[in-house]
Structure 1
Amino acid sequence: MNTIAENIADFLKEYPPFDNLTFQELSAIATSIRVLNLEKNETLFQINDKLHDCFYVVASGVIHLSVIADAEETLLNKCHAGDILGLRPFFAKNNYMMTAKAREESIIYAIPIVTFRPFVANNPDVLNFLLESFATNTWNPKEKENLRGKLANDNVFYIDQKSEMQYFQSLTYNRLPLTATINDIAKDVALRMTENSSTSVVICDNQLPIGIVTHTDMCSKIATGQFPLTVTMKAIMSAPVVTVVENVSLAEAQLLMLKNNVTHLCVTSDGTDKSTVKGVISEHDLIIAQANNPGVLIKEIKRSSNAKDLKHLRERLTELIQNSIHKNIPLSNINNIASEINSAILKRAVELSILDLGSPPARFAWLSIGSQGRKEQLLLTDQDSLLIFEDVMPDKYRDVRDYFLKLGKKATAILEKVGYELCPNGHMASNMLWCKSLTDWTKQYDSWMNTPGENSNDLSSIFFDLELVFGEKKIFEAIENVILKDLDHNTLFFDFLGNDALRKNSPLTFFKKFVLEEDEPNKDKFDIKTRALMPLIDGARLFALHFNIKGLNNTYQRFKQLAIIDAKNSDIYLNCAEAFLTLSKFRVSEGLKNENSGQYINLSELTKLDKEKLKNALAPMKELEELIKSNFKLTQFS
């Protein structure tokens, strides 16, 4: 092997994903690598250029990656030695979506895809490294610190996120695919493809898929004159066809296309070629799915400039939730992602308000309380928030508070336009009661927790489900510490909270019938929020505070953690956790169907099986109630 190739192999083995390959493999790759010398400001590729037949590694120098957005160039990333860029030709067929330009004199290694592809297909670690980057739009998935060897993929969007997102990224594809037999004539099939705007036709024998003919096949084999128009499908089809199950994820589909070097996958009943055809997934479908990736949504939220943009993005979140539920993704996973996207929307509303008002006169923290504070806001329910600003000199207090009240009003107005209704109880940062200094909030929590009976009118237990949306973490932690201090040996507070948790009306009558609403507009409907979900939410919070569980607000996760901490009652907690997910799913399905908060369920629309499921999910509440009664002295507020 020549010395140049040896030097290249030596260099590459220091960086991922090449460090997963043997030196022999690297040497084989190195002999086909082209070395490019770029002058300062020379372009490697730019937006809308046709894709190259290679991807690139920076050997020395610095390459800037940028996009044009709103008529101005935005720098997305700087690539240094060992960084990979230009991965788009691996995973997509559309043109480059960004520009790569040398910031200084640079040496670049151009690695032909044709040479590298076999090493990718045979090495899961290398494949996963490249695929995770493309499918989740992350930096180097192995190195969250972005130290060295980071990936700069050619999607315009970047976001630190869980790579699991791609595994339940929903995929929309053609569920009415064209089919033909091996004896059908190319001319007839081409006409049918044109009439149906289809890029492929599945070739079947006895309704089972045996091959596929794509638009590319037609162009390369018929249009070039290699075969006549009268040729049968048997001569030009690709066989066997790569088959997948119906609920395949975006990541799995990309993986299969890459491994098999194909542009279409055939969806069948059981995922094999021994069952009937249900659809076809094309490369184009994967590119469309990329645009609905949660990471992409968050990136777009960060760039949005008004409430209208945010409203549109919130609607896309609803679609994502709907698709995920349709695919039976666990609700706890859907909650994680929805809460990240909701948080990004809330944060952007605060940012846009600051851009409008000018810089804040003091440091502050904007907190979500209630369902978003618990990471449980899958539907467009009302907004609950509070604002804490740092202590300032007495002569500045009024001006500072006025600024933050204005900020609260602007941000809540934006969120109302997005679709989050104003809280009917006024629990919002725009309300003078819930927008005050750290000292005032400390007094408020001290008062609530040490003398709960005297202040019970404005004490809502949702004030103990807090999530920092924007601002200073230290201010947020200061309030957490106040709560922690006031919990210590505070039997009176637990007496109050315990009674509050038990105050919700029972969901079933003595004869095990659902208790329905008696008044309009929800007459004869079941209030799943108040009668079923709230007792579980309140119970989980009560025990989480009692056992001093920090940093976990989500009801499902609280119950799971309680099962570990209080092992003798673990069965009760685990039953409650499952019940909470089942009930939440009922509520979300109802809300999505009727485009409302899903609070009231029309039982007459449920199947007998669903009614039974709903009733069974209410059973653990009785056990939880008994556990509360036996654990806390519920005397003063009973």
Structure 2
Amino acid sequence: MDENFSKSQEDVAASLVAAVSDQSAVSSNYLLADQLYNTRINDLAYKKIISCLPETPIYLAAQQMAANKTSCLFIRNENHEYLGFVTDITLRDRVIATQLDSQSPISNVMDENIVSIASDVYVYEALLLMFNTKSRYLLVKNGHEYVGFLSKNRLLSEQAQSPLVFIQSVKSAANTTDLRSKWRKVPGIVAQLLARGVHAEIVNEVVTTIADAISNKIIEDVIAKLGPPPAKFVFMVLGSEGRKELTLKTDQDNAIIYEDTPEENRAMVRTYFLDFATQVSDKLNYVGFVYCDGDYMATNPNWTHSLSHWKYNYKNWIEEALPEAAVKFAAFFDCRAIYGDDSIMQELRLFVDDELKKPIEKFYVYLAKNALLYEPPLTYFRNIRTQKIASKEVFDIKTAMTPIVDLVRVYALQNRIFQKENTGERLRALKDMGVFNDTQFNELMQSYYYLMGLRLKNQSRQIIDAHAAPNNFIEINSLTKIDKVTLIEIFKTIQNFQSGIKIRFTNSLG
């Protein structure tokens, strides 16, 4: 949780959630506020930006806040670039409580977590951005001009019955049992989102944000138990969660990177983080994120290491250019820091970016071959190929989607697209770079998210209606004729793109 997220703000959010849950008519429906998905930021009233220069003495900044009756003051330089902000709580915790000299410059106590957003984006995007960046305030831009700011509490109060208030309630959970109860409510939220026609990409992000909030809460609880970490670190998630494409059938895929430390401290630091990883993993498993069968978890000593060791790992995977190394690199390319010091992750990304600039054609060939391992389930006569499980004819929708994920990842790697995390974002970036034309982009986007919507819907039904553990098998007889025709066309599209991969990266049509 944000270290600056005050107890009073938590109480406001908790009261808001309680007020919603007390209304029996809406207690199970987080989607009555439909405006969440069609209201843009510029439809709301912003608060006026009050600002001062970084060298302004603290007492003058406080006087400026009092005169303008604002609880948030932004700090900007002479070029009108915003550097940070202070709040009433900042002055209480960092000035009064520490008896700091009020003549000190305000920049000494400001929070530097400044995040801005365009005025034409949707409210749900703004809230997800705030949760993902742990930001309490958003500066709103119209073109190149800052036109105001919004607070997280303001946006949450505007959407008192949305899934995003549910995310805030996760942050206020009392213990892991409470978190487990929260996670069990997610299938209902997913079902309602899909029933309202919300795009599968948004549903993915909502589920992922809930999972991130649960993970962060668990990490904080473990740190409170073990004591402060002996070194800076990041806890990163991999695979579908790393791509913000989490579904309802999920396991743990995570790792830890900690800063390089003096040799005499290394054993102690490593022992702490392996113990930390075990406790976090056990709690995640209890909540509902089961252990990874492939052992891609921070509890595995191979995946908890110093930054220099991680650089060595990535360098080896790239230079070895072996099939098994390419598989590991692909898994760890889809990574995202959800807790800790992000500068560690940024340093690793810069290192990998430099390594990828070298001539490594063979490496891309093996990555491309990974994208060809799974074939769309089409028969010779272009019908959907099924398998029989428990006397039912089914096909594996995850396997059907995998070629798109792998295909887009290869192109993203070749073009060193690191800041775009999910498949949709990567596709948009690749289209903007001219790698895909409009037709190719639209075909891949529509195909991927049609499959994702079908996958999420099937999993939520398995949990809610059948009271069964979710899986990735779609029963063919549960599909409509339109579904079947659409799937066949999607599988043809995937086959065509796989042919393109063969030609471009492997120089083979076989």
TM-score (norm 2): 0.68
**2:465 pairs with 1:599:** no
Alignment of 1:220-235 (within 5 A): none
User: Which residue matches 1:580?
Assistant: 448
Q: How far did residue 401 of structure 1 move? A: 0.9
Q: 1:449 to 1:319 in 2, by over 3 A?
A: same
Count of residues paired in the alignment: 387
Alignment of 1:263-274 (within 5 A): none
The separation in 2 between residues aligned to 1:166 and 1:456, in whole angstroms, is 36
Deviations 1:380-407 (A, max 9, x none): 4112111101111222212211111111
**2:163 pairs with 1:294:** yes
Question: What SS does the aligned partner of 1:481 have?
Answer: helix
**2:380 pairs with 1:492:** no
User: Which residue matches 1:524?
Assistant: 393
User: Which residue matches 1:506?
Assistant: 376
Match of 1:350 among 219, 227, 248: 219
User: Which residue matches 2:492?
Assistant: 619
Alpha carbons 1:592, 1:598 under 8 Å: kept: no
User: Which residue matches 2:123?
Assistant: 164
User: Which residue matches 2:408?
Assistant: 540
Alpha carbons 1:588, 1:598 under 8 Å: kept: no
Query: Which AA in structure 1 matches 2:385?
Result: V
The separation in 2 between residues aligned to 1:525 and 1:543, in whole angstroms, is 31
Q: How far did residue 460 of structure 1 move? A: 5.3
The separation in 1 between residues aligned to 2:325 and 2:480, in whole angstroms, is 41
Question: What SS does the aligned partner of 1:587 have?
Answer: helix
Deviations 1:432-471 (A, max 9, x none): 1111111111111111111021753972522111111000
The separation in 2 between residues aligned to 1:522 and 1:347, in whole angstroms, is 42
User: Which residue matches 2:505?
Assistant: 632
Alpha carbons 2:41, 2:122 under 8 Å: kept: no
User: Which residue matches 1:609?
Assistant: 482
The separation in 1 between residues aligned to 2:493 and 2:173, in whole angstroms, is 44
Deviations 1:296-315 (A, max 9, x none): 22322222232111122223
Question: What SS does the aligned partner of 1:420 have?
Answer: coil
Q: 1:614 to 1:167 in 2, by over 3 A?
A: farther
User: Which residue matches 2:310?
Assistant: 441
Alpha carbons 2:318, 2:329 under 8 Å: kept: no
The separation in 2 between residues aligned to 1:150 and 1:288, in whole angstroms, is 18
Question: What SS does the aligned partner of 1:525 have?
Answer: strand
The separation in 2 between residues aligned to 1:399 and 1:509, in whole angstroms, is 57
Query: Which AA in structure 2 matches 1:75?
Result: S
Q: 1:455 to 1:394 in 2, by over 3 A?
A: farther
Percent identity between the aligned chains?
25
Deviations 1:102-134 (A, max 9, x none): xxxxxxxxxxxxxxxxxxxxxx999832xxxxx
Match of 1:427 among 296, 314, 319: 296
Deviations 1:9-29 (A, max 9, x none): xxxxxxxxxxxxxxxxxxxxx
User: Which residue matches 1:317?
Assistant: 186
The separation in 1 between residues aligned to 2:493 and 2:374, in whole angstroms, is 15
The separation in 2 between residues aligned to 1:319 and 1:406, in whole angstroms, is 34
Alpha carbons 1:412, 1:430 under 8 Å: kept: yes
**2:390 pairs with 1:474:** no
Deviations 1:475-509 (A, max 9, x none): 11122122212211321210110011111133212
Q: How far did residue 149 of structure 1 move? A: 6.4
The separation in 1 between residues aligned to 2:48 and 2:202, in whole angstroms, is 21
Q: 1:145 to 1:612 in 2, by over 3 A?
A: farther
Question: What SS does the aligned partner of 2:328 have?
Answer: coil
Alpha carbons 1:325, 1:331 under 8 Å: kept: yes
Deviations 1:59-103 (A, max 9, x none): xxxxxxxxxxxxxx94339xxxxxxxxxx9xx99x9xxxxxxxxx
The separation in 2 between residues aligned to 1:522 and 1:572, in whole angstroms, is 38
Match of 2:8 among 75, 97, 109: 75
Q: 1:416 to 1:510 in 2, by over 3 A?
A: same
Query: Which AA in structure 1 matches 2:387?
Result: E
Q: Larger Rg: 1 or 2?
A: 1
Alpha carbons 2:326, 2:366 under 8 Å: kept: no
Q: 1:508 to 1:395 in 2, by over 3 A?
A: same
User: Which residue matches 1:281?
Assistant: none
User: Which residue matches 1:404?
Assistant: 273
Question: What SS does the aligned partner of 2:387 have?
Answer: coil
The separation in 1 between residues aligned to 2:416 and 2:209, in whole angstroms, is 25
TM-score (norm 1): 0.55
Alpha carbons 1:390, 1:437 under 8 Å: kept: yes
Question: What SS does the aligned partner of 1:601 have?
Answer: strand
User: Which residue matches 1:515?
Assistant: 385
Q: How far did residue 144 of structure 1 move? A: 11
Question: What SS does the aligned partner of 2:321 have?
Answer: coil
Query: Which AA in structure 1 matches 2:382?
Result: K
Q: Which moved more, 1:352-361 or 1:606-615?
A: 606-615
Q: 1:360 to 1:315 in 2, by over 3 A?
A: same
The separation in 2 between residues aligned to 1:141 and 1:517, in whole angstroms, is 58
Alpha carbons 1:564, 1:570 under 8 Å: kept: no
Alpha carbons 2:260, 2:306 under 8 Å: kept: yes
Alpha carbons 2:327, 2:367 under 8 Å: kept: no
Alpha carbons 2:314, 2:329 under 8 Å: kept: no
Q: 1:126 to 1:517 in 2, by over 3 A?
A: closer
Q: How far did residue 522 of structure 1 move? A: 8.4
Superposition RMSD in Å: 3.6
| Larger helix proportion of the pair | 2
- Unaligned runs of 5+ residues in structure 2 are 1-5, 11-15, 23-39, 53-64, 73-114, 129-155, 464-468
User: Which residue matches 1:128?
Assistant: 44
- Unaligned runs of 5+ residues in structure 1 are 1-72, 78-87, 95-123, 130-139, 153-159, 170-286
Alignment of 1:228-307 (within 5 A): 292-307=161-176
Q: 1:292 to 1:427 in 2, by over 3 A?
A: farther
Q: 1:149 to 1:378 in 2, by over 3 A?
A: farther
Q: How far did residue 605 of structure 1 move? A: 1.6
Query: Which AA in structure 2 matches 1:508?
Result: L
Alignment of 1:109-148 (within 5 A): 128-129=44-45
The separation in 2 between residues aligned to 1:416 and 1:145, in whole angstroms, is 46
The separation in 2 between residues aligned to 1:516 and 1:307, in whole angstroms, is 40
Q: 1:475 to 1:597 in 2, by over 3 A?
A: farther
Give the structure, 1 or 2, with the largest relative contact order (CA under 8 Å, sep 6 or more). 2
Q: 1:437 to 1:497 in 2, by over 3 A?
A: same
Q: How far did residue 623 of structure 1 move? A: 2.2
Q: How far did residue 611 of structure 1 move? A: 1.4
Alpha carbons 1:491, 1:633 under 8 Å: kept: no
Alpha carbons 2:248, 2:470 under 8 Å: kept: yes
Q: 1:293 to 1:547 in 2, by over 3 A?
A: same
The separation in 1 between residues aligned to 2:274 and 2:247, in whole angstroms, is 28
Alpha carbons 1:563, 1:571 under 8 Å: kept: no
Q: 1:145 to 1:454 in 2, by over 3 A?
A: farther
Alpha carbons 2:315, 2:355 under 8 Å: kept: yes
